[in-house]
Amino acid sequence: MHSFFRKNGLVLAGGIIQGFGMGVFLFPHSIPSGGAGGLAVLLNYWLDLDMGLALWLVNFSMLVAAIRFLGNSVALWTMVSITMTSFSVYFFQELLHLPVRTLWIDILFGSLFLGAGVGILLREGVSNGGVGVIALIIATYRNTLPGRPLFWINGLIFLLTASIINWQIIIQALLSQWISTKVVDLVCSLEFYGTYTLGMRKK
């Protein structure tokens, strides 16, 4: 029971932290936080969907892969994480409006919070949703840290997003991804062999 509440607390915290980074610092500049964020930006651009809702829809669509490759337990925890992240994005966008914005400072802080939140989730063996599911599958089967596959998968989606919306976005998004994935690997490596591999074992 203690381990359940501990994990639940960490998953909720990870979702809130990454939602804060995305909603307050990255999304106001239309900078995708990752593959799911890039697809959410496109849905917002094409269909004018709220970013929180668009992010939730993209993330939920990846749960089939989570169930198939990572097991029911990971899928359930992923549902919790993506719901909390999407709610946090909506909440913080509605609540916090920074009066003065500096693009590169926002990218830095947004990436640090994003990486910390995603790192907490992945360290617990929980996907942050979207292409994080794919990165977690690769990391599971290759017994490696998830930062590198996460970076390359997201980079391909950034290319698509930038080609449709604005090519300048790709520079900003790739910088954000480089920072955040470094933070992801830093957080995951703290207890990688002790917690990460156990958390990702199929149930």
From first to last of the 203 residues of the chain, give the pLDDT tens digit: 778 888 889 999 999 999 999 989 988 887 877 777 778 878 888 888 887 788 778 877 777 766 777 677 777 888 888 889 889 988 998 887 777 778 999 999 999 999 999 899 888 878 776 777 777 778 778 887 777 787 788 778 878 877 887 778 778 888 998 899 899 889 988 754 444 443 444 44
> What does the DSSP 8-state code read for residue 130?
T
- Give the model's pLDDT for residue 77: 85
> What does the DSSP 8-state code read for residue 52?
H
> What does the DSSP 8-state code read for residue 62?
T
- Give the model's pLDDT for residue 81: 87
Other C-beta atoms closer than 10 Å to the C-beta of 28 total 18
Q: What angle do CA 80, 200, 87 make, to 5 degrees?
A: 15
Predicted TM-score of the model (pTM): 0.73
- Give the model's pLDDT for residue 191: 53
- Give the model's pLDDT for residue 195: 45
> DSSP readout, 73-93?
HHHHHHHHHHHHHHHHHHHHH
Asked whether 82 and 56 are in contact (CB, 8 A), the reply is yes
- Give the model's pLDDT for residue 149: 80
- Give the model's pLDDT for residue 203: 41
CA atoms 48, 50, 53, 58: torsion sign: positive
157 CA to centre of own chain: 14
CA atoms 170, 176, 179, 181: torsion sign: negative
Other C-beta atoms closer than 10 Å to the C-beta of 41 total 27
